[in-house]
Amino acid sequence: MTDTNNPIDIAREALKQLTLRKLSPTPANYQACYNEVAKLPNVAGFPEAQLRQIAMALRVNYPALTQHLERFETAIGNRSWLAVQETLLVLASTANGTSAAKAQPDNKASELTTELLARIRRLIEDLLPALGSEDEWLFGQARTLLQTLQGPAVDIQALLGLLTGFSQRASLAAEEQVEIKELLLKLLHLIIENIGELTLDQQCIQGQIDSLVRAVAPPLSLRRLDDAERRLQEVIDRQHDAKTRTLEAQEAMRQMLSAFIDQLTAMNHSSTDFQNNLEQSASEISEVHTLEDLTPLLQRVIDATRAMAQDTASARDQLEELQEKVLTTDAELAKLHEELHHASASARHDPLTDALNRRGLAEALAREIASMQRKDSPLCVSLLDVDNFKKINDRLGHATGDEALVHLVNVVRHYMRPIDTLARYGGEEFVILMPDTRQEEGIETMKRLQRELTKNFFLTGNERILITFSAGVTQLTSDESGEEAIRRADQAMYLAKRTGKNRVLGG
C-alpha cells in the first residue's frame, strides 16, 4: 500500500498509474496522477508565462499604471496566486476608473471652449489697432467675427471659415505694416543723415548723429526707439540753442555795422563842412584889407577846426566801442562752439563703444527702478571688469585695448536681450541692467556671456586673444538706490577677481 505521506512512494505510484492508464507522460498528466495518489485537489500549474504576457499588454495599454503593474509582476515572480489576485483587483479598479474618465464626456470641455472663444475674441480686438485703419473689409470681417464669437451658440465650421478669411487678409495687412515701418525707418535715417547740414558747425554734432544712426539700426525695440528719441531731442535742442545764439550774434554784428556806417557818414559830412569852411575862409581872406576884418575869419576857422577835432575824437571813441563789441561777440561765438563741442563729448553715450556713459546710466537706472517699483518686478544689476586688461594695453598698445573693448561690447550686445541696458562704467568696467530678472537668472546670464566670449576670439593682426571678465550680480531691494546696488555688485566682482578671475558671483 502506498504511503501518502512519503513523496517518493507517491511519485512511484503516480508513474505506475501513468503506465497502467496508458497516459502520455506530460507534466499535466503526471500532476493529476500525483494529486490523485496524494489525495490532493487537482489544481493546474502556475501560468507564469501567460501572466507575464498579460502584464506586458497592460503596460502598453495603461502606461499610467506603472506602479501597480510593477507590483503585479512582482507577484508573478513570487508565484503567489493571492498576491496576483489582489493586484489584479486593484488594476481592474484603477483601469476602469481611467477608462471611465476617458469615455465620460469632459465636464470642463464646454468651459474650455468658452474660454478659448473669449481669448480668440480678445486676440482679434488687440490685433486690430496694429493692422491700421485703412482696410474697411478687414474691419468689417473683424466685426462679423466678434459678433459670431459673442453669440450663444457658435457654429465652429462657420467660425473656421471666417477665421481663415480674416487671417489671410490680416497677413496681408501685417506685411503692409512691415513695409510702412521699413519706409519710415529709411525716412528717419535720411532725416538723421541730413540733419548735420542744418547746423553751422557740423563737427560739433557729428558724433551724436553717428550714434543716433546706430541707435535706429534694426532690430528695433521700444527701448531702443526711446533711446533714439532722447538722442534726437538732444541734437535738436543743441541745434536750436546754437541757432538762437548765432542769430543773436549776427543781429548784434548787423547793428554794430549799421552804427559804423552812420558814423562814417557823419564823419564825411563833418569833413565836407570843414572843407567848405576852409575854402570860403580862403576866398574871403583875399578880400580882407584890415586886421579887424581878419579877426572874425580866424575865429570861424578856429571854431570849425575845433568842431572837426571834436567830431573826430567822438568818431574815434565810437569806433573803439564798436571794435570792442566785435571782439566780445567773436569771443561769445567761440565760447558757443566750445560748449557745443563739450556737449557732444558729454552726451549720454560713450564715444568709443557707444554704450551709455555715467550720465546715461544714471537716467536708465532711474527709469528701470521706477518701472520695478510700479510693476513690482525684479531688477538685476551686474558689474563686469575685463580680466588682465592692463596686460593687453602694455603688450599691444592702447589702440588695441580700445578695439578689445569694442569687441567685448559687440559680443555682449549680440547676446543680451533688447530690454537690457549696457553702460560703460569707467575704463574696462561695464554695467548691465537686467529688468524682470532675479539674481539667480542674472548670474546664469553673465555665465552664458562668458561662454560666448570664449567662442568669439578677439582678432588683432594674426593673433587671437581670449577676452574674459569677472562679474558681480545683485538684485535691487525695494528701498535700495541704484548706486548702492552697483556698490554691492562691485564688491562681488572684486571677490570674483580674488578667487581666480573669469567668475561670476552674487552680491
Q: For 37-46, how does the pLDDT look when each residue is reduced to its tens digit (9 = 90+)?
A: 887 766 556 6
Across residues 298-314, what is the average pLDDT? 68
What is the arithmetic mean of pLDDT over 332-354? 68
pLDDT of residue 299: 67
Question: What is the mean pLDDT of the segment spanning 210-221?
Answer: 63
- In the predicted structure, residue 358 carries a pLDDT above the cut 70: yes
CA atoms within 13 A on the CB side of 60: 5
Residues 6+ apart with CB under 8 A from 310: none
Residues 94 and 68 sit within 8 Å (Cβ to Cβ) = yes
Among positive and negative, which fits the CA dihedral 495, 469, 432, 380? negative
The answer to whether residues 349 and 355 touch, using CB atoms and an 8 Å cutoff, is: yes
**Higher pLDDT among residues 202 and 403, named by residue:** 403
What pLDDT was estimated at residue 298?
62
**Which one has a higher pLDDT value, 169 or 363?**
363
| Mean pLDDT on 279-305 | 64
Q: Which of 8-17, 29-38, 277-286, 498-507 has the lowest mean pLDDT?
A: 277-286
Distance linking the first and last C-alpha atoms of the chain: 94
Contact 381, 486 (CB under 8 A): yes
Amino acid at site 323: Q
Q: Are strands 469-475 and 429-435 parallel, antiparallel or unpaired?
A: unpaired
Q: Report in angstroms the alpha-carbon separations of 128 from 165, 250, 355.
A: 15, 53, 36
Q: In the chain, pLDDT over 70 holds for what percent of residues?
A: 61
Total residue count of the chain as it appears in this document? 507
Q: How confident is the model at residue 103 (pLDDT cuts 50, 70, 90)?
A: very low
Q: Please write the tens of the pLDDT for every residue from 447-474.
A: 999 999 988 888 888 888 899 999 999 9
Beta bridge pairs of residue 471: 384, 504
Place 344 in a pLDDT band, splitting at 50, 70 and 90: low
Contact yes or no for 196/239 (Cβ under 8 A): no
369-398 mean pLDDT: 91
Q: What is the mean pLDDT of residues 122-126?
A: 78
Question: Would you call the peptide bond into 418 cis, given omega within 30 degrees of 0 as the criterion?
Answer: no
pTM for this one?
0.45
Q: CA of 209: how far to CAs of 215, 236, 345, 354, in Å?
A: 10, 11, 12, 12
Question: Which pLDDT does position 380 carry in this prediction?
Answer: 95
pLDDT at 368 over 80: yes
Give 33-93 as a DSSP string. HHHHHHT---PPPP-HHHHHHHHHHHHHH-GGGHHHHHHHHHHHHTT-HHHHHHHHHHHHH
pLDDT on residue 248? 72
- Burial (0-12, 13-18, 19+ Cβ within 10 Å), 382: buried
Is pLDDT at 434 greater than 90 in this prediction?
Answer: yes
Mean pLDDT check: name the lowest of 82-86, 119-123, 375-379: 82-86
Average pLDDT, the chain: 76
Amino acid at 294: L
Q: Over range 249-278, report the average pLDDT.
A: 65
Q: Order of strands, edge to edge, in the sheet holding 429-435?
A: 421-426, 429-435, 379-386, 469-475, 504-506
Q: Which is more confidently placed, 382 or 167?
A: 382
Q: How many CB atoms lie within 10 A of CB 5?
A: 8
Please give the pLDDT value at position 164.
78
For position 104, what pLDDT does the model report?
47
CA distances in angstroms from 416 to 95, 219, 433, listed in the order given: 51, 13, 10
Q: Is the pLDDT of residue 227 over 80?
A: no
Please give the DSSP secondary-structure letter assigned to residue 4: T
pLDDT at 44: 58
Mean pLDDT for 57-71 is: 74
Instruction: Report residue 11 CA to chain centroid gap.
Output: 88
C-alpha to C-alpha distance for 412 and 144, rounded to whole angstroms: 48
Say if residue 155's pLDDT is above 50.
Answer: yes
What are the start-end ranges of the H helices in 62-196?
66-77, 81-103, 109-127, 136-150, 156-195
Distances (CA, A) of 164 to 112, 151, 194: 22, 19, 45
How many H helices and E strands in the chain? 16, 7
Enumerate residues 6+ apart whose C-beta is below 8 A from 45. 27, 28, 31
User: What is the Cα–Cα distance from 262 to 259, expressed in whole angstroms?
Assistant: 5
Query: Using alpha carbons only, what angle is made at residue 61 by residues 57 and 62, rounded to the nearest 5 degrees?
Result: 110
Residue 468: predicted pLDDT: 93
Question: What is residue 220's predicted lDDT score, i.e. its pLDDT?
Answer: 60
- Taking only the tens place, the pLDDT of each residue in 328-338 is 766 776 676 66
* Chain position carrying cell 501572466: 51
User: What was the pLDDT predicted at 503?
Assistant: 93
Mapping DSSP to helix (H, G, I), strand (E, B) and coil, where does residue 24 land?
Answer: coil
pLDDT on residue 56: 77
Q: Mean pLDDT over residues 262-287, rounded?
A: 64
Residue 89: pLDDT over 90: no
* Higher pLDDT, residue 11 or 296: 11
Say which residue, 392 or 22, is predicted with more confidence: 392
- pLDDT tens, position by position, 1-26: 556 667 778 878 888 888 888 887 77
* pLDDT interval class at 142 (50, 70, 90): confident
